[in-house]
Amino acid sequence: MAIKSVGVIGVGTMGAPLAGHLLKGGYTVTVSDPNREAVAALVRKGAQEAASAKEVAAQSELTLVIVADDAQVQEVCLGPQGILAAARPDHIIAICSTVQPATCRMVADAARAQGIHVLDTPMSRGVAGAVEGTLLLTVGGDAGILERCRPAFSTFATDICRLGDIGSGQVGKIVNNLVLWANVVVVREGLTLAASNGLDLATLREALIKSSADNFVLRHWDNVAGQPSWWDQKDLKAVLELAAERGVAAPVATVTKELINGFTAEQARKLLPIQVKNK
């Protein structure tokens, strides 16, 4: 049966655009967030307001969870005012936040007892991808449940990749984040070296984008450099936690977390202030 109603818990910089795309896609959308202004803006576009995650779930067939961290995911899914307190059997929870795979498995185990399905669907390509509707979703969970959700997901994601069972999507996103932030560190180091030798960085960047050094960070420097200064620390902390859980050495993540700490958007723009057309 086709999904017609979608809930969105958390309508900040990522959740608000997603809710907007779902509305444009013809879905009935119910939203909840402590930020009253963000909720009101979506209500003006046609969304329904809910006072809690519990109320969102009661009005939806699919609920997207887009909150800050593991503790908030657990609260909005498992808490007394959470999704499982009101969701009917066959409801689907999509955990879009980037959290530990174990958190997704915990929620899935609790949901399964009530006949509720869980996918982990962390998002890549940042705020720009959310606004443009071009996100990448790495997905963990049942393939059949994903297919039921695919039309709704496709309103805001151009690429949807199932990587395996529940938690697999989070592993994929955590690996993505490691590679992303390591690239930020090495691109900054390279640009700094070039600047010290008098090179024009905008011209160099155009050349590197055409070379074997090409990478996402070079092509989207303005976008990546505009991320909040705490974002890299959150992402790399997740990498190190997962590595420790699995007993895997992660020296690059350790060094990257140290080297990138305090690297702000202002510093990034000062290093390369000239905007170059992304390829």
Show which residues are catalytic: 173
Residue that the structure tokens 């420097």 belong to:
221
What is the residue-wise DSSP string for the chain? ----EEEEE--STTHHHHHHHHHHTT-EEEEE-S-HHHHHHHHHTTPEE-SSHHHHHHT-SEEEE--SSHHHHHHHHHSTTSGGGTPPTT-EEEE-S---HHHHHHHHHHHHTTT-EEEE--EESHHHHHHHT-EEEEEES-HHHHHHHHHHHTTTEEEEEEEESTTHHHHHHHHHHHHHHHHHHHHHHHHHHHHHTT--HHHHHHHHHTSTT--HHHHTHHHHHTS-TTHHHHHHHHHHHHHHHHT---HHHHHHHHHHTT--HHHHHHHS-S-----
> Of 166, 176, 168, which is closest to residue 124 (Cα–Cα)?
176
